[in-house]
Amino acid sequence: MASPASERIVRHDSGGICTLTLNRPNKLNALDTEAFEALDAHLAQLERQSESIGCVLLRGEGRGFCAGADLNAMGKVPIPPTFKPGVIDRLSRLPQPVIAAVHGVCVTGGLELALACDFILADQTARFADTHGKWGLVGAWGMAQRLSRRIGIPAAKKMMMTGCNVTAHDAHALGLVDILCAADEFDEAIAGFAAEILANSWHSNFAAKLMLREGEGLPLAQALARDHYHYPGNAPDHQDRIARFNRK
């Protein structure tokens, strides 16, 4: 059933997975104030739903994932507060693992959105670019820091300073894409990967994500101390999981 055209982001929950679909296909899912407000509202809910949602999937409706910020909207009014990095930072801090499923275009603000996710899966139609420089803009949603941490500074410089298109194959080789598959196998690959995540202890997954984020950039001794003093303990069902293993 088609989603309402006015609904910028469509949410669907099934089996512990929350799928958020960018729903502006006639604009290649370009991000405007309404999209950011809708995303922020969904993220606020997900932050409180760690017992019922163990994985979040971010997709784009239509021909591509996301063409970035809506330049038409930016040209008419000053950039509103919802265009600032807080919403995308909030996405990166969700307790649940987040998968960006990319097909077609994933450029500039759309790439920044994908980079805030924990994993990027792509089919062979995907292409990536940072075109901030083409428009005289400077990335404000984490491009420089997240892209360079994913693919290294030299490769990030090339993307940011030339605006070059990166194919799905090259993005996979760079480490920008975690899993690459054929377009007709994409949905199956996404479902399989999400199922692997959900089969693991959600408690362990959430703890691992938090520990990695909080320890990033710290000297090893400080990161280890942080893990020690903020250790969350084992999952409530860890004894049952071990018992099932021992019964095999």
Sorting pLDDT into bands at 50, 70 and 90, what band is 169?
very high
User: What pLDDT sits at residue 76?
Assistant: 59
Tokens of 9: 């982001």
pLDDT tens figures, 104-122: 999 999 999 999 999 999 9
Average pLDDT (14-24) is: 97
CATH of 9-199, one of 3.30.565.10, 3.40.50.450, 3.90.226.10, 3.90.230.10: 3.90.226.10
Is the Cα torsion angle 71, 152, 100, 85 positive or negative in sign? Answer: negative
**pLDDT at residue 152 greater than cutoff 90:** yes
Contacts of 144 (CB under 8 A, 6+ apart): 156, 160
Over residues 59-80, the pLDDT tens digits come to 999 999 999 988 876 655 555 5
If we measure between CA atoms, which residue out of 163, 126, 167 comes closest to residue 143?
A: 163
pLDDT at 3: 46
According to DSSP, the β-strands at 17-22 and 55-60 are: parallel
- Predicted pLDDT of residue 2: 40
Q: What is the mean pLDDT of residues 16-25?
A: 97
**What pTM was computed for the model?**
0.92
pLDDT of the residue at 223: 96
Which residue in this structure is represented by tokens 């199956």?
Answer: 188
- Beta strands per DSSP E along 28-178: 55-60, 98-102, 105-107, 119-123, 127-129, 166-167
